[in-house]
Amino acid sequence: MIAKEIKMKQPITILWDQFCEEFKPDLNFSNQGVLMSTKAEIEYVNIIALKYPNRIWTMLNCNGKSIIKSGFSILSNNGYLVCRKSFKEGDNFEVLNDDMDEDFEEFGH
């Protein structure tokens, strides 16, 4: 059997403010930010991901910069965000913000 080639769309780059306005991330369990990274929060993310996978976003550290990508990734992540609004199936978003690393408290990490 030959594996089917998966073609990913080019990433759609949006800024943090646009992401918050459009997708509306939920607060984490401590109500201190939106990044979900504790054991209980990860369990919650897994439950949501099974039913609503397009509401999950993953925060990654890429070359020393924080980046948030649409979808659930278990590799090299710093945590997850659960949004009230789903992204469309097949969309590939990257959320960027030059100030994101300085304002890391906003994520509740």
Task: For 66-102, give the secondary structure using H, E and C.
Answer: EEEEECCCCCCEEEEEEECCCCCCCCCEEEECCCCCC
Tell me what pLDDT residue 102 has: 46
**pTM summary value:** 0.82
> Between 105 and 65, whose confidence is greater?
65
The Cβ of residue 48 has, within 10 Å, a number of other Cβ atoms equal to: 17
**pLDDT by residue (tens digit) across 28-64?**
999 999 999 999 999 999 999 999 999 999 998 878 7
Q: What band does 98 get if pLDDT is binned at 50, 70 and 90?
A: low
Tell me what pLDDT residue 82 has: 98
Report the C-alpha gap between 15 and 50 in whole angstroms. Answer: 27
Report the C-alpha gap between 28 and 81 in whole angstroms. Answer: 8
